[in-house]
Structure 1
């Protein structure tokens, strides 16, 4: 089994004249990042590897979520997932080493939402409908696959294990 966790970056600010990649987290986003990290750790959702977009808001989301875990987690900043399409993100997933059983991707919409909709074949229909309506900042989708290698992850093979938002885990609202 392989587990893929898709985490959208937390709520960010939009300072005038700032490059999109350099946008920092808003106060609400910093709180939601820490809370989602606590939720992940308490729920046993511990990644073997975190692949993080190079955007500042994504890196800050991980930096604030990461301390909740009791063991070291490898992190790789991956430029190819910055504002990427679902197929591009799936290409990055396919390259993941076989020893990684649980992979966390921390990136952006609409790519993460598209990817979740593409990969999920079974699971809670109400949760899937919620994902289709809105994938808020700091939203978390957990998809399980009965596959041997990450390159075997393909459309419709995933089972939606859960969909959580900052509000559902007791944190500040997403957007």
Structure 2
């Protein structure tokens, strides 16, 4: 069985206020997070399981997005997703049970941008994928979660 991986960068957060892990979303970020949920619900892309960084801004992004969707997925708050490299994010995805259909990963740049870019055709010159706050990429995996790695699926940006 193959699945769908939804890669989400947290929405806009406050800058330079207090400890990084505790930064909250701005008013704009709260609106962006709700728009992410609406976008996914309207596209019929509903997570069965979520892997979310433990930072305040990722938790807030997730909660506001889920408010716009029916149902409630299993949520795994992962300390390892905060400050993770792209490789470390794959390691978290590799732990997802094979019967899970859609996984949503809510994290931070540069790792989520790197991960998304490894599934999206960036044209003949390649380059770096622009993945601003509240960006969403959807990847149709060609392998089970255990084998998820760069290039094992085909992705597209759901947000502009």
Q: Same fold (TM over 0.5)?
A: yes
- Any idea what SS the aligned residue of 1:68 has? coil
Which stretches of structure 1, 4 residues or more, deviate above 4 A after TM superposition? 123-126
RMSD of aligned residue pairs (Cα, Å): 1.8
Instruction: Give 5+ residue unaligned stretches, structure 1.
Output: 169-175
- Is this contact kept in 1: 2:37–2:66, CA < 8 A? yes
Quote the offset at 1:117 in angstroms. 2.3
Q: Which residue of 2 aligns with 1:108?
A: 108
From 147, 150, 156, the counterpart of 1:155: 150
Tell me, in whole angstroms, the C-alpha distance in 2 between the residues paired with 1:20 and 1:124.
32
For 1:160-171, list aligned pairs within 5 A: 160=155, 162-165=156-159, 168=160
Count of aligned pairs:
158
Q: Which residue of 2 aligns with 1:144?
A: 140
Tell me, in whole angstroms, the C-alpha distance in 2 between the residues paired with 1:56 and 1:80.
14
Quote the offset at 1:124 in angstroms. 4.9
* 1:46 equivalenced with 2:46 (yes/no): yes
Per-residue CA deviation, residues 62-117 of structure 1 (Å, 9 max, x unaligned), is 11111111112111101111121011110011011122111000000000111122
- Is this contact kept in 1: 2:141–2:153, CA < 8 A? yes
Q: Which residue of 2 aligns with 1:171?
A: none
Tell me, in whole angstroms, the C-alpha distance in 2 between the residues paired with 1:133 and 1:71.
31
Per-residue CA deviation, residues 124-159 of structure 1 (Å, 9 max, x unaligned), is 546x96x82411000001111122x21111221210
* 1:5 equivalenced with 2:13 (yes/no): no
Greater mean alpha carbon deviation, residues 43-52 or residues 151-160: 151-160
* 1:14 equivalenced with 2:10 (yes/no): no
Quote the offset at 1:15 in angstroms. 4.6
Q: Which residue of 2 aligns with 1:33?
A: 33
For 1:78-157, list aligned pairs within 5 A: 78-118=78-118, 120=119, 124-125=121-122, 132-147=128-143, 149-157=144-152
Q: TM-score with structure 1 length normalisation?
A: 0.84
Instruction: Give 5+ residue unaligned stretches, structure 2.
Output: none
